[in-house]
Structure 1
Amino acid sequence: MFRNYLKISWRNITANRQFTFLNLIGLSAGLASAILVYIWISDELHINKFNQNDDRVYQVMQSVSDGNGAIENTPGLLADALQIEMPEVEYAASVIPSTWFAEKGLFSFNDTHIRADGQFVSNNYFSIFPCSFIEGNANQLFSSKNNLAISKQLALKIFGTTNNVIGKTIEWNQQGFNENYIVTGIFEKQSSNSTIQFDAVFNYAQFLDKNSKLLKWTNNDPYTYVLLKKKSDAHIFSKKIAGFVKTKNADSKQVLFAQLFSDTYLYNRYVNGVPSGGRIEYVKLFFIITIFILLIACINFMNLSTARALKRIKEIGIQKIVGASRRSLIIQYLSESILMAFLSLFLAIAIVIILLPAFKQLTGKDFNLQFDTNFILAITTITLITGIIAGSYPAFYLSHFKPVLVLKGALKNTIGELWMRKGLVVFQFTVSVVLIISVMIVYQQMQLIETTNLGYERDHVIYFDKGGKLSANDADFKQGAVYKDLETFLQQIKTIPGVANASNFRHSIVNREGGTTDVIWQGKPADDQTSFTDIACGYNFIETLGIQMKEGRPYSTAFGSDDDKVVLNEAAVKAMGLIDPVGKNITIWGNKKQIIGVTKNFHFQSLYENIKPCFFDLSMNARVSKIAVRIKAGNEKATIEKLLKFYKSYTGEALNYAFVDEDYEALYASEQRVAALSKYFAGIAIIISCLGLFGLAAFTAQKRRKEIGIRKVIGASVSSIIAMLSKDFLKLVLLAVVIAFPVSWWLMNNWLQSFAYRIQISVYVYLIAAISVIVITIITISFQSIKAAIANPVKSLRTE
């Protein structure tokens, strides 16, 4: 019986090639979209799911209970304190991640120099994040502050082997940690689905030695991770530690909370100190969009099937007369739709294979199409469900006809059936219009981000690490030629033709994190715990970035040493409540500083955040190890080439540089991907919807062919018949537009609320979307309308 169903299904599919072709396009486009999104979502959901103790590993974060709930890194002493004082904690560790450094450090052994990522971890790190060690013992790595462990890959690059590496000395040059380190372990590198990636680990105690301010509870920098004991209640633990910092610093307003580590990737946005969405929103968004795309494809199949129904009613009547039950007919038509779905699947897989390289580039991920059990089961299930949904309405619709009425030609549609088909078209175009409006709003928000005046000039600014390779002329100097005389280095850069200015700095220009509450000023309330972001920089940094001064002056050697001076931004002055701040004294980290200038507010974080109080921390020491160079517009390529040659001759190594504007754009990579993917999905939805509309137009023209013939005989013009056939469809599309407007406004308004700086949704967006859809509709239905209007009325009336 099943074989018979397949035979009949195949004959019906091959009998009408136009019908089959249109359905293959719709269903394969929907299935290809579903497969690509499935691959992406599967990859997203597996990020950070590598730990065998996943359900017990938490990251401890802190927010500020000042109404804003800003998320900050944690105090440097927190991990040890939690492990000692909290019975729920089995292990706790502090981590200074590799991302804390702007660039990779330079590892040197004899004549081999390799740049790689390094991070600082405390003793219990590998008890929380187990790692396979080839050599050495994870529990005995840091018997000395100058010990380190390296990955197998780094060992092979440096030594060419992993044998007899333990005990060898490697030099590491990076931002104030330019010393010799002894290798005490070799480990297998982290899983590719981990957000924690590094090539070497150093002793956190070494970091504390060089950052003594972290020995105070008022300063934050490291990440803190804990492994809770089995059967511990994480929710209770999170509540218990909420006021922990206040027990160490009575004036603190910081509130701690624990978040499952494997959730921090997807739930990375916070409102008032509570996880509130993030990447998970995009996962849900594209899952929902994919469902709608598949539904639109199914509706397309339904409309085309019902449009074709009139050609099969006599077949149905004869089948029923000879004894076919309604159940057998339903199975037959479902078999057709399922067979069509699986034929579409093969085409969809071919489309996916072709589009996968572009999709990987678009999403920024390196995944492959692997036909494993899970994947095959997933796409088979998706295809089967799609086939059943697509064929359900045609199957029940066609099988319910009464054979006597069918053979007499007295078949009539019920009001419910007409509304069903029309409702499906309205649904299709509602989804399409929502997607079109969403794409336009996302694009406008991205344009706002790209064109917003950040308060500094990000164009034509490059930055790079000072470099750590030993000077060829001074091999005994551990910190390299640049560290030996930074001022001379900067002055020589400024003499390069095409260079407008140059300075040194330390922290990220576009997304500076961290902060301190250890700022004291006259009149400061006892309970004030305002967090100030510090930006370590050298002379000319403010000028190099084009940050505007509101009053006073920037750091300058023309006034002698400015080591005991400070420059604030407007937000800092406002937070302190200072009037005429220039000349007044404040205390930062126990050091008295005189305010010499106030800059206008500028964005040193993403536009998701409001501008926070900050101060510029003048520093010319080894830790401020990055160089910013402003290049004059017009001949950037030639200037950079000269800079590359100069750097090579001065340091002995190649220059690796980056553009500030590219870093800024990278902040919004997820949003840019959403914009691009939404654009493609909107296009797919429109194409499939138009196929459905085409099918409904064909159905209507076929049903009314005798009416059209009579109208032509009595003198109706072609244009009047086209208008008659088109107006009903336009009404449906206009209804879809009316429904889509409030839905799209609600969705996009909620999305925009996550930005501190956002566009106002314009009425023109809705007008453009409406006009576009109406024009597309007219073009789609015009073919069938014109074909029906110009048909010979004799052919349609000859059966009467």
Structure 2
Amino acid sequence: MFQHSLLLIYRNFKRFPTTFFINLIGLSTGLACALAVCLWVNDELSFDKYHANNSRLFRVMENVRTEKGLDTHAGTTALLAEALVEEMPEIESAVVATPPAFFPRFTLVGEKKHIQGVGKFAAKSFFHIFSYSLVQGNANQVLANKRAIVLSQRLATSLFGKPENAIGKTVEWQLADLKQTCIVSGIFGPIPANSSEQFDFVLTFDAFKDIMKMGPKINWEEDGPFNTYIVLHDGVDPKKFNSKIAGLLDHKTAKNKNRRLFIQPYSDQYLHGEYKNGVQAGGRIEYVQLFSAIAAFILIIACINYMNLATAKATRRMKEIGVKKTLGASRRALVMHFLLESTLMTFLALFLAVVLVQVVLPQFNEVTGKHLTLTPEPKLIILFLGIALLTGLLAGSYPAFYLSGFKPATVFRGTLVGSVADLWTRKGLVIFQFTLSVIFIVCVLVVHRQMQFVQSKDLGYDKNNVIYFETAGRSAQEPNAFLAEIKRLPGVVNASGMWGFFVIVGPQGVGPQLEWKGRKIPVNNLGVNYDMVETLGIQMKAGRSFSRQFRSDSTEIIVNETLVKTLGLQDPIGKTLNRDKVVGVAKDFYYESLHEKVAPFIFRLEPKAAGTVVVKLAPGQDKETIRQLQQFYKAYNAGMTLDYQYLDAEYQAQYASERRVAVLSRYFASLAILISSLGLWGLTAFTAEKRRKEIGVRKVLGASEFSIIYLLSRDLTKLVIVAIALALPISYLLVRHWLDSFEYRIALEFWYFLGAGLLALLVAWLTVGAQAVRAARIDPALCLRDE
């Protein structure tokens, strides 16, 4: 039977080459899209699951009841890990660590080499709990010494030539005006690409406690920014443990009635990182679901092409079916034959799809920010074969049951007439195809317009021609002298410094709280030097900026409009908030992404703040000014190199996921339209061939070419119009849901939907018209000639 099916595929290819190529192109394109998305989804789902303790590894989180409901964050007090191990027998081990991106880049000095890297502080059991591969050192001992440092292979090689040369050597790290000398106790290998956290070295948390002068005992009322991770004993039920830990803070102090602890699987934080009112409400998993659904729909569109073209040419295969039934073939055997035929076609398309994915994978990686490879892993091979098998069965299902239902007597009499149900099924499939295509077009238009809005939105500060960098060496020790020298450079408009950074990227937890008339209000704080407000171009609504003319400014603050409104202050200038005097009110500015509402914000004057330096450059002079700045920085800091970034690039980083959605949606929409158009083109061709003699008679009787074109395109145009009518309300609901994730968004205008419908209709007309014109120009003699 297999050889017979192969023979029939070959014969059908010779009889219907156009249909064969349309099906092959459609199925291979759809499969290529599905395979590429599968690679991406497989990578996303694998994040953080490589740790040996994955099933027992959890992050401790906290729900805090505020005026607006429950705020969820991962920040906990510094000594919570130690306290939990002592009080909770269910916990095998626990570790505290500074959060990712908690610090700017450190500067490390070893053997007179200066290297910048991302670092973190972590407790002794860090490398025991997490499966970061140690190539030098013992996981239980590398962080035992307070002055120990564990380097990555890359960093150790850069500093000492070879990783093994680094063990026992001293390294000095510096962060702003903080510095310390450490001894290299271990080397860890490359962190897997599917790790949500990437860093270059680890310092001991004991050293951090000394630097920050933390006490030896836990303060249960403290709500710190630190991450606490635990490993439960085998057999411990996480749900029961969650119930036990939830009320832990209630027993420690009466002031903790609004705080509840809970645990989240560590490997869930990457995909399920968003919480609303204390309940997990999405995250990156939404994009996994979205792109999986889109790939499935594109594959379904390709399957519909196969169904429609297979049933459209039914009249050309009915004698074959009649003969087989007369010779004793059962309907079951015919169904199996047609399913095998469609499956073989799909596996042929799978081969082409794999080749296509291999070709486009570099571009796909660039769009998605991944490093995906098409490797022959058993899991992926089984997945790809399974997708191809399901596609083949789906594509061949309707044709198989439809064609196998022909009765021999009816076939040989030539009186076969398609049923109304069959006709409407084919029409419904076409409508479904173009409904999806129109939805994709609307999504592309709306996403593109929202991203344009994000780019052009007045943020309340000037991000153009602004660079920033972390200081080290002499510049960190003499911040004001360093800033004064920078301001003298040609092309520098202004410069200032800050602790931390201005733009907030990614979800934030509950920050420091401002107490006001019995209320606790979360507020974002930023310690800044003089001229920061002016450097960023932030406008003042009332009062003044920080000034060197007022010596008391070190105890005074500038607040934003939102904080004034939240507190209900009528005349905020001169008011005291937490012992700090308000000297100015800044107009609201968007330091978070447009997904979030502008939150209360406070600028605090720190006259020596220069951990991060911000420099405003004159327009059109940035390259030359940066070159001079690099030379100056190297001379000022004893050979160190300047590693700078543009503020605009940091702002764009907040919308990396949205930009990927925008680019991928364009590709997906193009594929959907291409495959749908191929199917429409094939259907029009078969319609024209089926009505060949009718066209010839009409032309002999004087019908114009326009009337023939209208005849062939009328019915299919109606189907596309129905598809547009169905797609528009569905697309409205989808894009409305997506836009709801932005606090500041575009208004949905009518032309987005009308334009998408007209574009789909134009594509359909061009597709159908090309075949209709060809049929209308055929010689009537050729149409009426008897075979």
Between the aligned partners of 1:36 and 1:580, the Cα distance in structure 2 is: 58
Deviations 1:714-771 (A, max 9, x none): 3333222322222211111111111111211222222222222222221111100111
Compared with structure 1, are the counterparts of its residues 139 and 653 closer, same or farther at alpha carbon in structure 2 (3 Å cutoff)? same
Matched, 1:227 2:213: no
Question: In the alignment, residue 770 of structure 1 is paired with which amino acid?
Answer: G
Q: Cα distance, 1:307 vs. partner?
A: 2.7
Between the aligned partners of 2:670 and 2:133, the Cα distance in structure 1 is: 47
Compared with structure 1, are the counterparts of its residues 779 and 634 closer, same or farther at alpha carbon in structure 2 (3 Å cutoff)? same
Residue in 1 that maps onto 2:210: 209
2:625 to 634, 639, 655: 639
Matched, 1:287 2:292: yes
Matched, 1:40 2:33: no
Residue in 2 that maps onto 1:117: 118
Compared with structure 1, are the counterparts of its residues 570 and 90 closer, same or farther at alpha carbon in structure 2 (3 Å cutoff)? farther
Secondary structure, aligned partner of 1:310:
helix
Q: Within 5 Å, which residues of 2 pair with 1:672-691?
A: 672-691=659-678
2:523 to 532, 550, 574: 532
Between the aligned partners of 1:447 and 1:243, the Cα distance in structure 2 is: 47
CA contact (8 A) 1:517 1:529 kept: no
Deviations 1:351-402 (A, max 9, x none): 1111011001000011211022222222122112212221222222222222
Q: Within 5 Å, which residues of 2 pair with 1:85-124?
A: 85-103=87-105, 105-124=106-125
Question: In the alignment, residue 233 of structure 2 is paired with which amino acid?
Answer: K
Question: In the alignment, residue 103 of structure 2 is paired with which amino acid?
Answer: F
Compared with structure 1, are the counterparts of its residues 636 and 515 closer, same or farther at alpha carbon in structure 2 (3 Å cutoff)? same
CA contact (8 A) 1:9 1:333 kept: no
Matched, 1:575 2:566: yes
Matched, 1:628 2:623: no
Residue in 1 that maps onto 2:499: 506
Residue in 2 that maps onto 1:771: 758
CA contact (8 A) 1:149 1:184 kept: yes
Matched, 1:519 2:497: no
Deviations 1:493-519 (A, max 9, x none): 111111111001122322164664453
CA contact (8 A) 2:114 2:640 kept: no
**Greater displacement, 167-176 / 649-658:** 167-176
Residue in 1 that maps onto 2:304: 299
Compared with structure 1, are the counterparts of its residues 152 and 792 closer, same or farther at alpha carbon in structure 2 (3 Å cutoff)? closer
Question: In the alignment, residue 56 of structure 2 is paired with which amino acid?
Answer: R
CA contact (8 A) 2:152 2:187 kept: yes
Between the aligned partners of 2:214 and 2:726, the Cα distance in structure 1 is: 58
Q: Cα distance, 1:207 vs. partner?
A: 2.1
Q: Within 5 Å, which residues of 2 pair with 1:272-283?
A: 272-283=277-288
CA contact (8 A) 2:50 2:131 kept: no
Q: Cα distance, 1:185 vs. partner?
A: 2.8
Between the aligned partners of 2:447 and 2:71, the Cα distance in structure 1 is: 25
Residue in 1 that maps onto 2:767: 780
Between the aligned partners of 1:254 and 1:541, the Cα distance in structure 2 is: 36
In structure 2, the gaps of 5 or more residues are: none
Compared with structure 1, are the counterparts of its residues 101 and 42 closer, same or farther at alpha carbon in structure 2 (3 Å cutoff)? same
Residue in 2 that maps onto 1:49: 49
CA contact (8 A) 2:501 2:612 kept: no
Q: Within 5 Å, which residues of 2 pair with 1:72-87?
A: 72=73, 73-87=75-89
Between the aligned partners of 1:723 and 1:745, the Cα distance in structure 2 is: 32
Residue in 1 that maps onto 2:137: 136
Residue in 1 that maps onto 2:682: 695
CA contact (8 A) 1:97 1:118 kept: no
Q: Cα distance, 1:292 vs. partner?
A: 0.8
Question: In the alignment, residue 495 of structure 2 is paired with which amino acid?
Answer: A
Matched, 1:147 2:148: yes
Between the aligned partners of 1:674 and 1:259, the Cα distance in structure 2 is: 27
**Greater displacement, 510-519 / 718-727:** 510-519
Secondary structure, aligned partner of 2:294:
helix
**Greater displacement, 604-613 / 355-364:** 604-613
Question: In the alignment, residue 389 of structure 2 is paired with which amino acid?
Answer: L
Residue in 2 that maps onto 1:475: none
Secondary structure, aligned partner of 2:585:
strand
Residue in 2 that maps onto 1:483: 476
Residue in 1 that maps onto 2:241: 237
Between the aligned partners of 2:455 and 2:242, the Cα distance in structure 1 is: 38
Deviations 1:321-362 (A, max 9, x none): 344443343333333322221221222122111101100100
In structure 1, the gaps of 5 or more residues are: 468-479
Residue in 2 that maps onto 1:493: 486
Between the aligned partners of 2:444 and 2:247, the Cα distance in structure 1 is: 43
Deviations 1:535-594 (A, max 9, x none): 12111111111111111112121223521111112222233333312112222xxxx322
Deviations 1:277-314 (A, max 9, x none): 11111111111111111111011112222233322333
Between the aligned partners of 2:783 and 2:602, the Cα distance in structure 1 is: 83
Residue in 2 that maps onto 1:474: none
Residue in 2 that maps onto 1:168: 169
Q: Cα distance, 1:634 vs. partner?
A: 2.2
Secondary structure, aligned partner of 2:104:
coil
Question: In the alignment, residue 548 of structure 1 is paired with which amino acid?
Answer: Q
For normalisation by structure 1, the TM-score amounts to: 0.92
Q: Cα distance, 1:142 vs. partner?
A: 4.1
CA contact (8 A) 1:517 1:531 kept: yes
Residue in 2 that maps onto 1:186: 187
Secondary structure, aligned partner of 1:412:
coil
Secondary structure, aligned partner of 2:742:
coil
Question: In the alignment, residue 788 of structure 1 is paired with which amino acid?
Answer: A
Between the aligned partners of 1:763 and 1:255, the Cα distance in structure 2 is: 46
Identity, % of aligned positions = 44
Matched, 1:610 2:597: yes
Matched, 1:389 2:370: no
Q: Within 5 Å, which residues of 2 pair with 1:714-793?
A: 714-793=701-780
Residue in 2 that maps onto 1:58: 58
Residue in 2 that maps onto 1:544: 535
Residue in 2 that maps onto 1:406: 411
CA contact (8 A) 1:56 1:230 kept: yes
Compared with structure 1, are the counterparts of its residues 418 and 182 closer, same or farther at alpha carbon in structure 2 (3 Å cutoff)? same
Between the aligned partners of 1:633 and 1:70, the Cα distance in structure 2 is: 42
**Greater displacement, 145-154 / 24-33:** 145-154
Question: In the alignment, residue 404 of structure 1 is paired with which amino acid?
Answer: A
Secondary structure, aligned partner of 1:551:
strand
**Greater displacement, 17-26 / 707-716:** 707-716
Q: Over aligned residue pairs, what C-alpha RMSD do you find? A: 2.3
Between the aligned partners of 1:311 and 1:494, the Cα distance in structure 2 is: 82
Between the aligned partners of 1:48 and 1:330, the Cα distance in structure 2 is: 46
Q: Cα distance, 1:176 vs. partner?
A: 4.2
Between the aligned partners of 1:235 and 1:600, the Cα distance in structure 2 is: 46
Matched, 1:268 2:273: yes
Q: Cα distance, 1:791 vs. partner?
A: 3.1
Between the aligned partners of 1:423 and 1:714, the Cα distance in structure 2 is: 34
Compared with structure 1, are the counterparts of its residues 539 and 420 closer, same or farther at alpha carbon in structure 2 (3 Å cutoff)? same
**Greater displacement, 761-770 / 507-516:** 507-516
Residue in 2 that maps onto 1:351: 356
Between the aligned partners of 1:581 and 1:245, the Cα distance in structure 2 is: 36
CA contact (8 A) 2:61 2:72 kept: yes
Secondary structure, aligned partner of 2:495:
strand
Between the aligned partners of 1:759 and 1:726, the Cα distance in structure 2 is: 37
Q: Cα distance, 1:144 vs. partner?
A: 4.1
1:564 to 555, 576, 598: 555
Residue in 2 that maps onto 1:472: none
For normalisation by structure 2, the TM-score amounts to: 0.94
Between the aligned partners of 1:344 and 1:799, the Cα distance in structure 2 is: 37
CA contact (8 A) 2:176 2:477 kept: no
CA contact (8 A) 1:563 1:618 kept: yes
Between the aligned partners of 1:220 and 1:455, the Cα distance in structure 2 is: 30
CA contact (8 A) 2:511 2:523 kept: yes
Secondary structure, aligned partner of 2:545:
coil
Secondary structure, aligned partner of 1:581:
coil
